[in-house]
Amino acid sequence: MVNLGLRQKFISILPKSTFGQTALLIAALLFINQLVSYLSVTHYFISPSYKQINKLISNQINTFFILDIESLSPAQIEKLTSTTGIRFHDEISAMHAGLGNAAYYDFMSKQITQQLGKDTEIRVKTGKNYMVWIKPPQDRDLWISIPLTGPNENSLSPLTMYFFVIGALSVTGGWLFVQRLNRPLQALQKGARQVEKGHFPAPLALVGSSEIIAVTEAFNKMSRGIKQLENDRVLMTAGISHDLRTPLTRIRLASEMLPDEQAWVKDGIEHDIEDLNAIINQFIDYAKQDQQETAVFANINELIHELVDSRTIISTHMIELKLAKVTATKLRTVGIKRVIENLIENALKYGSDTITISTAMVDKNRNILCCVRDFGKGIDQTQMEQMFTPFAQADQARGTSGSGLGLAIVKRIIESHGGKIQFTNHPDGGLNASFLLPVSH
């Protein structure tokens, strides 16, 4: 169980996107490549070089003592120093010459000790003046300093430069590869979201790998098919509506010929015809989804004022406005007016004679919130989602007239703007019908 929990925790922290997974894979491969390169360079180049240096140092020490250093004259020692840079020190002069700044190198000491057969101490001073200090086993009171040409401490070593260049090229190549792979995927994502909102983008370019091209081609075919279905539905609805209105007109004309004593029959027929015409108009509105309208920058508060001012308010009805300052955003104004009008009509018809309309900026000013609240009985929580289902009426207690398409049309309009709509019961009574609209710049 512990291992399973650790495994699930490890999986949960792994990146979920293709970009993140590919970047992680490249990083892992790059790390392995660098590690293998480091071990290879160390084993095949650096280690043999140090072995050669150690061998040369041990040979020089043996040579000095074979020649017997003490038998050399001061002139000979001076000539040796000026020619090779090698110097001989006692403990005190060695400290003055920089021995204290040299670091003990264990692996070099062990290798030279093995070659000389006796304990030898090696210290190395790096930097501008690269110096090797040797305490030979033949004379424990003697220090020999041998200058070597080393890398400048202010510059990058060839190995470091190699790793840096390889790493930079690998990361750059991986980034370009992932960008090329993600670009058509991002286009697919954007296209799918447009189709979700009822928009149909132009066919996407067939670029990328063969698998991505196949998926893009399938998406283009799907988008064309859905668009054709939408067009067929609009055409079919328009045809049905036209065919229904013709007999309805004949029925209306026939009712006009009824005698005056049957006026009640005439009034009933005309009322039913008006209801049928309203239902037909809702069918057409549901099919069209207001997609033909062009979005323009508008302020939702101004739309609310226009609707409230243009309404013929019944004397018992009252609409209270609580409109905060909101940002103008791209809206299909006819569609948004239809949404607000529908919510106002439902609130007054099924909720209460007094309603409140409020607006506000939310989510760090990224969304506009509009809420229409009534003070009625509210709706059973279990029936909230059913209210947006076409041809369904969630709360029979709030009325049964109509086709059940009004809120379905409202939901489609809001979602086509990239927003969300929801109904909630207010804690103090009544229903909150609210929707969010994203701010477009």
261-270: pLDDT as tens digits: 777 777 778 8
Q: Which two tokens stand for residue 260?
A: 């005056």
**Amino acid 285: pLDDT:** 64
Confidence at 284, pLDDT banded by 50, 70, 90: low
Q: What is the mean pLDDT of residues 375-392?
A: 78
Q: Where is pLDDT greater, at 320 or 256?
A: 320
Cβ atoms 305, 319 nearer than 8 A: no
Q: Would the pLDDT of 5 be above 60?
A: no
**Degrees (nearest 5) of the Cα angle 247, 250, 251?**
90
Range name among 29-33, 134-138, 268-272, 390-394 with the lowest pLDDT average: 390-394
| pLDDT on residue 249 | 77
Q: Is the pLDDT of residue 8 over 70?
A: no
Report the pLDDT value the prediction gives residue 396, as an integer from 0 to 100. Answer: 46
Give the pLDDT confidence score for residue 11 in this predicted structure. Answer: 58
Q: Return d(Cα 315, Cα 27) in angstroms, integer.
A: 72
Given a cut of 80, whether residue 300 has pLDDT beyond it is yes
Q: pLDDT of 24-37, one tens digit each?
A: 777 777 778 777 77
Bridge partner list, 360: 369
Q: What is the structure's pLDDT at 322?
A: 94
Residue 398, pLDDT score: 47
Looking at residue 288, its pLDDT comes to 61
The mean pLDDT of 295-320, rounded to a whole number, is: 86
Q: Which residue has the higher pLDDT, 397 or 321?
A: 321
Check pLDDT > 90 for residue 439.
yes
Reported as a single tens digit per residue, the pLDDT across 229-261 is 877 777 777 677 767 777 777 777 777 777 777
Confidence of residue 153 (pLDDT cuts 50, 70, 90): very low
pTM: 0.49
More confident site: 417 or 369 = 369
* Domains of the chain from N-terminus onward: 17-158 (3.30.450), 197-288 (1.10.287.130), 296-438 (3.30.565.10)
Count CB neighbours of 277 within 10 A. Answer: 15
pLDDT of residue 253: 78
> pLDDT per residue over 170-223, tens digit each?
777 777 777 777 788 888 888 888 887 777 888 888 887 777 888 889 989 988
Nearest to 409 by CA among 296, 233, 288, 293: 288
